[in-house]
Amino acid sequence: MDNNNSILTRNPGTEFRSDVFSKIKINRSAVEKRCAEYSARRSIKKQDQAAWLMKAISLIDLTTLSGDDTKARVKRLCRKAINPLNDKLVKNLSIESLKLSTAAVCVYHDMLSAAKKSLEGHNINLAAVSTGFPAGLSPLPLRIEEIKYSVAAGADEIDIVISRRHVLEGNWEDLYSEVKSFRKASGKAHLKTILATGEIGNLANIAKASQVCMMAGADFIKTSTGKEPTNATLPVSLVMSRMIKDYYELTGYRVGFKPAGGVSDSKTALQYMIMMKEELGRRWLEPDLMRFGASSLLGDIERQLDHYSSGYYSAHYRHPLA
């Protein structure tokens, strides 16, 4: 679809247009049939698989969003983001020159200072969840101030949660205004809008919410907080990627996609990457347009690459997250 090296122009958003999405209907059975084809028609093996998995590492937002997070844990996570593979494996794969790292580290606001200090001098973005994450039910003025607070503390990216009630009640202009206010508050920091797809009803709602968030200026649309009973799934992701394609064809602006929650193994990550390449093109396999919200995924990728290098599967404990 695009030149792989093309410079990304940030999505400025558009005026609210209900005609773009009001008549959207989704055939769930057709979506599920299409999703079943990804792994069946495309099998990536050996050297090619290793290359795809190294690319996947560069797409990860290495994340810790637990109530018991500490500065020490976040610092260890940042060190893992900087050096995602152990030195021996890097040497065995002869990839020293790649200087491989994850795309970003994602934390709560209180952990930003520890993460920022640990990432100094490295080309790794710092993301903060915001707007009353994960429920998004705090007063709107407080959610807007929370964004500003995190940007002032050094966040390069803000992962916000939308008000699910706007989607469930069909208040699309309210959703547009809300996300637009979040975009304004984020300033130069890129805005990832979390739809919480497991809580907004059906695929048609997901499609409409995706369009409204992009109209409001979202840089990424993201599936989940990782805290819902159902998080990222291929059918949901296919619908969202199709909406990204429609928005690009309508406006000329590319919007990124971030599956989060449940993407914990290499096989699943490869399915998402295949989907993005087939639906949107090679350009969407770069960190400015695709991310994985994950923690345990990196450990599994490291284990798979170790198997590719040695021919043997190592124990999981040999590939700790941090």
**Does residue 8 lie within any of the structural domains?**
no
**Does residue 216 lie within any of the structural domains?**
yes
* H/E stretch holding 257: strand 256-258
**Residue 317, pLDDT above cutoff 90:** no
pLDDT in tens, 91-128: 999 999 999 999 999 999 999 999 999 999 999 999 99
CB 55 within 8 A of CB 306: no
Q: What is the pLDDT of residue 1?
A: 41
Tokens of 203: 């695929």
Catalytic residue among 258, 277, 300, 306: 258
Q: What is the pLDDT of residue 43?
A: 72
| Residue 84: cis peptide before it, omega within 30 degrees of 0 | no
**Residue 2, pLDDT above cutoff 50:** no
Q: Letter for the amino acid at 4?
A: N
* 225 or 46: which leads in pLDDT: 225
Give the residue-averaged pLDDT of 153-177.
98
**Does residue 9 lie within any of the structural domains?**
no
| Closest C-alpha among 315, 173, 168, 198 to residue 260 | 198
* Partners of residue 126 on adjacent β-strands: 105
**Residue 160, pLDDT above cutoff 90:** yes
Give the residue-averaged pLDDT of 6-29.
95
Give the residue-averaged pLDDT of 195-215.
97
Tokens of 322: 């941090």
222 assigned to active site: yes
d(CA 243, CA 250): 10
Which residues does 21 contact at the CB level (< 8 Å), separation at least 6? 172, 207, 208, 211, 212
**Residue 268, pLDDT above cutoff 60:** yes
**Does residue 2 lie within any of the structural domains?**
no
**Does residue 144 lie within any of the structural domains?**
yes
- Give the 3-state secondary structure of residue 37: helix
Question: C-alpha angle with apex 195: 190 to 199, nearest 5 degrees?
Answer: 160
**Does residue 64 lie within any of the structural domains?**
yes
Q: Round to the nearest angstrom and report the end-to-end CA distance of the chain.
A: 37
Give the residue-averaged pLDDT of 252-275.
95
pTM attached to this predicted model: 0.95
Range of the domain at 39: 18-318
159 assigned to active site: yes
**Does residue 7 lie within any of the structural domains?**
no
Domain count, the chain: 1
- Give the 3-state secondary structure of residue 39: helix
d(CA 251, CA 201): 27
| Average model confidence (pLDDT) across the chain | 94
Catalytic residue among 159, 219, 300, 306: 159
- Give the 3-state secondary structure of residue 160: strand
Catalytic residue among 222, 277, 300, 306: 222
**pLDDT confidence of 45, banded at 50, 70, 90?**
confident
Q: What is the pLDDT of residue 321?
A: 66
Kindly report the CATH number assigned to the domain that includes residue 208. 3.20.20.70
**Does residue 3 lie within any of the structural domains?**
no
Q: What is the pLDDT of residue 283?
A: 97
Specify the residue for token string 């695929």: 203
**pLDDT confidence of 5, banded at 50, 70, 90?**
low
Q: Letter for the amino acid at 101?
A: S
pLDDT in tens, 80-89: 999 999 999 9
- Count Cβ atoms below 10 Å from residue 222 Cβ, excluding itself: 28
User: What's CA 178's distance to the chain center, in Å?
Assistant: 21
Q: What is the pLDDT of residue 314?
A: 76
Q: What is the pLDDT of residue 103?
A: 98
Q: What is the pLDDT of residue 4?
A: 57
- Give the 3-state secondary structure of residue 294: strand
State residue 164 phi and psi, 5-degree precision.
-60, -30
91 assigned to active site: no
DSSP H helices, 252-295, are 266-280
